Amino acid sequence: MTRLLALAAALALAPAATAADPPKLAPADEAFFEGKVRPLLVKHCLACHSAADKKTRGGLALDTRDGWAAGGDSGPAVVPGEPDKSPLVKAVRYADESMRMPPKGKLAAEEIAALEKWVAMGAPDPRSGAGGAKKPAGVDVEAGRAFWSFRPVADPKPPVVKDAAWPRGDADRFLLAAMEARGVRPAADADRQTLLRRVTYDLTGLPPTPEEAAAFLADRSPDALAKVVDRLLASRHFGEAWGRHWLDVARYADSNGSSFNPPFREAWKYRNWVIDAVNADVPYDRFVTAQLAGDLLPAASQAERDANVVATGYLMFGSKVLGQFDKPTLLLDVVDEQLDTVGKGLLGLTLGCARCHDHKFDPVPTRDYYALAGILSSTRTLAGPLDEPRADENDWSRRGLGPGGDEKVAAFADADRFAWVKAGRKLYAARAAAARASSPFARAKAVAEVAHWQKTHAAYEAKLPPMALAPRDADEPADERIRVRGVASSPGEVVPRGFLRVAAFPGQPAVNPKQSGRLELAKWVADARNPLTARVQVNRVWAHLFGEGIVRSADNFGTRGDPPTHPELLDFLARRYVEGGWKLKPLVRELVLSRAYGLASAHDAANAARDPDNRLLWKHNRRRLSAEELRDSVLAAAGTLDRTPGTTLIEHLPLKDLGETDAAHLATLRDDRRTVYQPVIRNLLADVLEVFDFANPSMTVSRRPRTTVAPQALYLLNSPFVQDAAGRAAKRVTAAVPTRDPAAVVDAAFRLIVCRDPSAAEREVLVKYLTAQFEGPGTMTDHDVAKLCHAVLAATPFQYLD
């Protein structure tokens, strides 16, 4: 008994003792360690687990006693005297598939036995040194709250400026004060044609029409611009352009992508919901709540309930590895992707790191990750197999629309879903075969096949209840377990569902244990007291109008993001945004009517020397047209743009893997509506989108890449789309200028495409080019004008907004 007590006391004291004074080992113990254990550790382990070499994979060092005693991410590596409880022994035994060491191959049996014996002996280890793996102190959430983005939004007052005549609004005062402090003078105001083109594209993604340009130039009233802005804000095209900005954040797509790429037939309903919501100026708190938990909200009408369900498509668009055999990992991966989207998109934080370990830079502990993960793993995003009860690929969750919608969808799924999927695939294949058939006999056979499957498929389609891509709460919502190193099969401690503690505020909602917790998550995100939400969204709006955000890393407000260039301005705008009811249109209106927005984009050497990155916004940032703006504008110049809203173009596509062989068919589906209404098929993006920096639809994107690469020039020079549009534009130009006077033709083409008159230099260059194209003396053909239009479409005055 005495001995036992002494041993217990020694064990309790052991950590303190080792730090100061390495235990003196019995000679036999020391001999065993030096003879059998140390060489083995050196040979097989220390390459990755050595504090001295600063290689501590999984946080574990094995070159000191403290190293294994403190252990790594999964706790102490050795429990002295208990081989069966020691992770190190388990790992070398290769017992657990998720933790086998060394990774390159199992140790020899006698080596394993040596380690087992050593642990059983009590793991005698003479190696001291403070070099034990440094255990992370853990995330200090309270200290983390001192970081600017986690502090409550302040209430700054607009500063006093020296040049009181310059500012037009409060935002201008913040900007000018910063410029004055740095000795920078704002640029001159942009000319009116430039400003009209800028604001029209920024608000609607479309060029001003010649009539709109003429009207604006003729209107000399002081509120001429305000009238234009109000017209643009009221236009349906505003929602199309700004809805598209949100779709980038929501990684919207019309197919799953990844390794198995079936179409999302109902995705377009979400897309149109977004456009409509932006046009209706639905307050951002409601906009977000509907997307996270619309199905859990009370609704006054069936229409409202359906819209709320459609909105939850936001959680559904992740590009999933539907064929993952390991379904527990698939479920965790789905949640991880959702958290990545919610984190970056709504909170400006990268949460993914915390799946495997406490966030290294931001105050997000693994606990908080799994608190959020529990909410989403209590939400069903996936359904069973997509086809044939035995198939590998998972289906995704759908919700019914209309009265009794969910029940109808469930009934359809039980009775007809597999047969419907099969009929759709058969019909699609039969149609393709019919199109390929070369002999009359083959054609007749194929046509009969098509007719058969058409009939079968139509019968199922008739039974198909209206539905949306939407999740539902799991039958038994539950808290999630921490997964050691993020591995699904290594469950740890259970964490109650909740939110990020670093952004917690008094009186925040608590998860209703009977539900997933999405509703409370939505309320927590969309709360005026959440320090991140309004800042992130206001910053994004600012970035769309000024070219860069006040925080340039728009999806990272953490410690590794960029600090705000104008922190008070950001808080001022965020506060006003929330107080004004989270409304987008008044914010946009205020910003585009600011003096700063209307500045010219011209370079200034003196300012550039002081502020080369234009962080002070002493000039407007020139930007290239987005992929959508480019395509829409080319169609507009050709006179073929269809400005009506679109619905779906992919209803007939079967739920099958869309691949290379479908590319040609998919290309035929596009119509001349705006690009936002064209299907976004992952892995098979339209060329114009792929080449011109469209947001990667498989990940949440707050700021699109901005590249200048040769494939863009090749597209503009050689794609049939631009060539064809140039031909159509030419016909419009020559129709408008029957005299075919070269200068008049150049002016008309330039006005049609660039929305302004050419400068004298531009006119001279283009007239010279045009007349050089004539094949005979003085005869201008439509083909010559097409070449002219093509050059203008490719050149920078059209490609860029000054």
Q: How far is the CB of 108 from another protein (least distance, A)?
A: 11
Among 455, 713, 735, 741, binds another protein (CB under 8 A): 713
- Alpha-carbon separation of residue 188 from 40, 226, 280, 621 (angstroms): 73, 19, 35, 13
Q: Are 201 and 245 in contact (CB under 8 A)?
A: no
**Is the Cβ of residue 281 or residue 628 nearer to another protein in the bound state?**
628
Q: Which stretch binds another protein (CB under 8 A): 30-38, 62-70, 231-239, 660-668?
A: 660-668
- Identify the bridge partners of residue 472 per DSSP, sorted by sequence position: 380
Of 212, 194, 166, 101, give the one whose Cα is nearest residue 618.
166
308 part of the interface to another protein, by CB under 8 A: no
The amino acid present at 773, given as its one-letter code, is Q
Question: Which residues inside 121-160 make contact with another protein, applying CB under 8 A?
Answer: none
> Quick one: 705 or 738, whose CB is closer to another protein?
705
Integer CA distances (angstroms), 713 to 675, 699, 760, in order: 20, 26, 25
- In the set 105, 298, 440, 777, which binds another protein (CB under 8 A)? 105
Rounded Cα–Cα distance for residues 443 and 432 (Å)? 11
Pick the piece of the chain touching another protein (CB under 8 A) from 407-415, 517-525, 652-660, 728-736. Answer: 652-660
Angle (nearest 5°) at CA 173 between 172 and 176: 80
Considering only residues 353, 364, 468, 534, which one is a binding residue for another protein as defined by CB under 8 A?
353
Is residue 518 a contact partner of residue 477, using CB atoms and an 8 Å limit? no
Q: Give, as ranges, the residues between 475 and 494 that touch another protein (CB under 8 A).
A: none
Q: Which of 383, 699, 736, 744 binds another protein (CB under 8 A)?
A: 699
The CA distance from 548 to 580, in Å, is 24
Q: Counting contacts by CB under 8 A, is residue 609 touching another protein? A: no
The residue range among 113-121, 134-142, 178-186, 754-762 that interacts with another protein, by the rule CB under 8 A, is 754-762
Residues 386-425 that bind another protein (CB under 8 A): 392
Residue 795 phi, psi (nearest 5):
-80, 165
> How many contiguous H segments (helices) and E segments (strands) does the chain have?
33, 12
Can residue 776 be called a binding residue for another protein (CB under 8 A)? no
The residue within the footprint of another protein, chosen from 218, 772, 777, 778 (CB under 8 A), is 772
**What is the Cβ-side half-sphere exposure of residue 309, based on CA atoms within 13 angstroms?**
25
560 touches another protein (CB under 8 A): yes
Q: Which CA distances in Å does 241 have to 202, 236, 710?
A: 8, 9, 27
Instruction: Report whether 519 contacts 295 (CB < 8 A).
Output: no
Is residue 378 near another protein by the rule CB under 8 A?
Answer: no
Q: How far is the CB of 767 from another protein (least distance, A)?
A: 11
Segment 206 to 235, residues that bind another protein, using CB under 8 A: none
Helix (H) or strand (E) holding 468: strand 467-469
658 binds another protein (CB under 8 A): yes
Least distance (Å) from another protein to the CB of residue 199? Answer: 19
Q: Which of these segments, 143-151, 262-270, 446-454, 713-721, binds another protein (CB under 8 A)? A: 713-721
Choices 252-260, 275-283, 441-449, 669-677 (CB under 8 A): range interacting with another protein: 252-260
Q: Which is nearer to another protein, 368 or 662 (CB)?
A: 662
User: According to the binding rule CB under 8 A, does residue 766 interact with another protein?
Assistant: yes
558 is a site residue for another protein (CB under 8 A): yes
State the pairing for strand pair 394-396/382-385.
Answer: antiparallel
Residues 6+ apart with CB under 8 A from 341: 249, 250, 251, 314, 318, 700
Helix (H, G, I), strand (E, B) or coil at 384: strand
User: Backbone phi, then psi, for 396, in 5-degree steps?
Assistant: -120, 160
Pick the binder of another protein from 765, 771, 781, 782 (CB under 8 A). 765
Stretch near another protein under the rule CB under 8 A, chosen from 303-311, 344-352, 365-373, 733-741: 344-352
Hey, which residues does 385 pair with through a beta bridge?
394
Does the footprint of another protein cover residue 368 (CB under 8 A)? no
Cβ(785)–Cβ(735) below 8 Å: no
The residue written with tokens 């531009």 in the block is 762
Give min distance, CB of 357 to another protein, in A. Answer: 9
635's tokens: 């169609």
CB of 656 to another protein, least distance (A): 11
Of the candidate spans 64-72, 525-533, 733-741, 785-793, the one that interacts with another protein by CB under 8 A turns out to be 785-793
The DSSP annotation for 147-208 comes to SGGGSPP--PPPPP-S-TTS-SSHHHHHHHHHHHHHT-PPPPBPPHHHHHHHHHHHHHSSPP
Please state the closest distance from residue 724 (CB atom) to another protein, in A: 10
Structural tokens at position 174: 């913040």
Q: In the complex with another protein, which residue's Cβ is closer, 401 or 695?
A: 695
Judged by CB under 8 A, which of 86, 204, 279, 350 binds another protein? 350
Restricted to residues 62-101, the positions that interact with another protein (CB under 8 A) are 97
Alpha helices in 612-741 (DSSP H): 627-638, 663-669, 687-691, 710-718, 720-736
Render 254-298 in DSSP notation, one character per residue.
SB--TTS--B-TTHHHHHHHHHHHHHTT--HHHHHHHHHHGGGS-
Which position among 723, 757, 771, 781 is part of the footprint of another protein (CB under 8 A)?
723
- Nearest-angstrom CA–CA distance, 245 and 312: 18
Subset of residues 662 to 691 that bind another protein, contact rule: CB under 8 A: 662-663, 682-685, 687, 690
Name residues contacting another protein, limited to 611-640 (CB under 8 A). Answer: 612, 622, 624
For residue 657, state whether it binds another protein (rule: CB under 8 A): yes
Of 187 and 423, which CB lies nearer to another protein in the complex structure? 187
Binding piece for another protein, criterion CB under 8 A, among 118-126, 129-137, 154-162, 548-556: 548-556
| Distance of closest approach, residue 329 Cβ to another protein, in angstroms | 9
Binding segment for another protein (CB under 8 A), chosen from 127-135, 236-244, 503-511, 702-710, is 702-710
Q: How many residues bind another protein (CB under 8 A)?
A: 97
75 is written with which tokens? 């706790």
205: exposed, middle or buried (C-beta count within 10 Å: 0-12, 13-18, 19+)? Answer: buried
Hey, is 52 helix, strand or coil?
Answer: coil
Is 438 near another protein (CB under 8 A)?
no
Q: Give me the amino acid identity at 69.
A: A
Q: How far is the CB of 771 from another protein (least distance, A)?
A: 12
Span from 112-120, 495-503, 513-521, 692-700 in contact with another protein (CB under 8 A): 692-700
Smallest separation, CB 472 to another protein (Å): 23
Q: Which stretch binds another protein (CB under 8 A): 200-208, 273-281, 396-404, 716-724?
A: 716-724
Stretch that binds another protein, among 84-92, 132-140, 268-276, 788-796 (CB under 8 A): 788-796
What is the contact mask toward another protein in residues 319 to 338, using x (rule: CB under 8 A)?
x-x-xxxxx-----x--xx-
H-type alpha helices, 326-365: 327-342
How far from chain centre, in Å, is Cα 774?
A: 50
257 binds another protein (CB under 8 A): yes
Check residue 108 for interaction with another protein (CB under 8 A): no
In whole angstroms, the minimum distance from the beta carbon of 710 to another protein comes to 4
The structure tokens listed for 19 are 């730090």
Nearest to 25 by CA among 135, 122, 157: 122
Q: How far is the CB of 718 from another protein (least distance, A)?
A: 4
| Binds another protein (CB under 8 A): choice among 315, 696, 752, 755 | 696
Stretch that binds another protein, among 60-68, 75-83, 424-432, 697-705 (CB under 8 A): 697-705
